[in-house]
Amino acid sequence: MNVQRTMNDKKIAGVCGGIARQLDVDSGKVRWAFVLLVLFGGLSMWVYFVAWLIMPSDGGSDTYRND
């Protein structure tokens, strides 16, 4: 499995967008799941930052979406 951060579907670093693309699900659902896991599931924000550091970028345009 080769998960890459997405530069076209991101709010912060593209980690959740990349995971969503790999799993073929809506990125909003992955973002909500991550937030809920951080708040109620004991998942640490460090997981996101480590993923940011180790996941390669997909090489797309590095612009933030203004939804």
Kindly list the domain boundaries of the chain, sorted by start residue.
Answer: 15-54
Look at residues 3, 16, 22 and name the one whose alpha carbon lies nearest to residue 65.
16
- What is the average pLDDT score of the chain? 85
> How much is the pLDDT for 42?
87
Q: Rounded CA gap, 18 and 57, in Å?
A: 9
**Would you give per-residue pLDDT tens digits along the chain (67 residues)?**
688 888 888 888 889 999 999 999 999 999 999 999 999 988 888 999 999 999 888 876 655 454 4
> How much is the pLDDT for 61?
60
**Helix (H/G/I), strand (E/B), else coil: 5:** strand
pTM of the model: 0.77
Q: Rounded CA gap, 28 and 41, in Å?
A: 18
Residue 15 and residue 54 in contact, taking contact as beta carbons nearer than 8 Å: no
Task: Report how far apart the first and last C-alpha atoms of the chain are (Å, whole number).
Answer: 29
